Structure 1
Amino acid sequence: MLLTLAFESETPLYQQIKNQIITGIAQGKLQPGEALPSVRQLAADIGINFHTVNKVYQQLKQENWVVIHRRSGVIINPELNLKADEVYRESLTSTLEVLFAEAHLRGITLEESHHLIKTIYQSYVQEVSK
């Protein structure tokens, strides 16, 4: 699994790793049932503390992205079938409110926002259908 971390970023390392794993699933680069590296292996591969990777895996487990087995390790949830419930929609709305507020303050127009959303969303639809 190839991860690209920005050590100087304001985004914490654990969040960067989590985001890239979820993006990898959405793009079809990580498949349901596929094994992820062990906590220690991934930490060693990218040169970070294993507690950071453990935090990522535990969060992904809580959110049903992965399952953790004592023997087979961490795997992408083979029964991955997440739904957008009301709690998720509220969380998404809250996140988008901040992003759009900043975009507005930086001069991004509604049309530019629509174009960005459409382009990004379509990239996931195209990747999965390949």
Structure 2
Amino acid sequence: MLIHLDLEASDPIYNQLKNQIIAGIAKGELVPGERLPSVRALAQDLGINLHTVNKAYQQLKQDGFILIHRQKGVVVQPDGFPEADEEYWQGLQKTLHPLIAEAVCRGIKREEFVDLCSEIFKEFEKQGGK
């Protein structure tokens, strides 16, 4: 899996890294039990601070996508991924609410927004996601 970071983007680097790892899992590029590079190795490969990688890994661990073992290193969650519970649905709604509000302000119609979401969803379905 290739990781592409935009160092000029407003989105923090740790968030870009976290999102790309989750996308890699969703697309089937990273499979349960697969080892990921150590914090130090990934930071060196990407040319970023190791604290940035550590922050992304810690958030992925907290969200249930990876396990971090002192001896085994970092692995994609081998026991499957957390299901969408009520807390997740509330967070999803909180994330989508301002995006939809801005889309409405910019004249995007409901059908256009839903079509865009469907296209993005298909990208993950056809590449090995759940």
**TM tier, shorter chain?**
over 0.9
Identity of aligned residues (%): 51
Amino acid at match of 2:107: G
Residue in structure 1 matched with residue 103 of structure 2 by the alignment: 103
Find the residue that maps to 1:127 and give its secondary structure. coil
Separation in 2 of the partners of 1:109 and 1:37?
Answer: 42
Separation in 2 of the partners of 1:127 and 1:74?
Answer: 23
Separation in 2 of the partners of 1:68 and 1:54?
Answer: 11
Separation in 2 of the partners of 1:109 and 1:12?
Answer: 30
Matched, 1:35 2:4: no
Moved more, 16-25 or 105-114: 105-114
- Root-mean-square deviation over aligned CA pairs: 1.1
Give TM-score scaled by structure 2 length: 0.95
Q: CA deviation at 1:22?
A: 0.3
Q: CA deviation at 1:117?
A: 1.0
Alpha carbons 2:38, 2:74 under 8 Å: kept: yes
Moved more, 85-94 or 117-126: 117-126
Q: Which runs of 5 or more structure 2 residues have no equivalent in the other structure?
A: none
1:11-48 Cα distance to aligned partner (Å, 9 max, x none): 00000000000000000011100111100010011111
Matched, 1:50 2:44: no
Separation in 2 of the partners of 1:31 and 1:107?
Answer: 40
| Runs (4+) off by over 3 Å | none
Find the residue that maps to 1:80 and give its secondary structure. coil
Find the residue that maps to 2:20 and give its secondary structure. helix
Aligned residue runs from structure 1 range 43-122, under 5 A: 43-122=43-122
Matched, 1:22 2:22: yes
Find the residue that maps to 1:75 and give its secondary structure. strand
Alpha carbons 2:65, 2:81 under 8 Å: kept: no
Separation in 1 of the partners of 2:72 and 2:40?
Answer: 14
Separation in 2 of the partners of 1:111 and 1:125?
Answer: 20
Q: Which runs of 5 or more structure 1 residues have no equivalent in the other structure?
A: none
Amino acid at match of 1:96: L
Q: Relative contact order: is structure 1 or structure 2 higher (C-alpha 8 Å, sep ≥ 6)?
A: 2
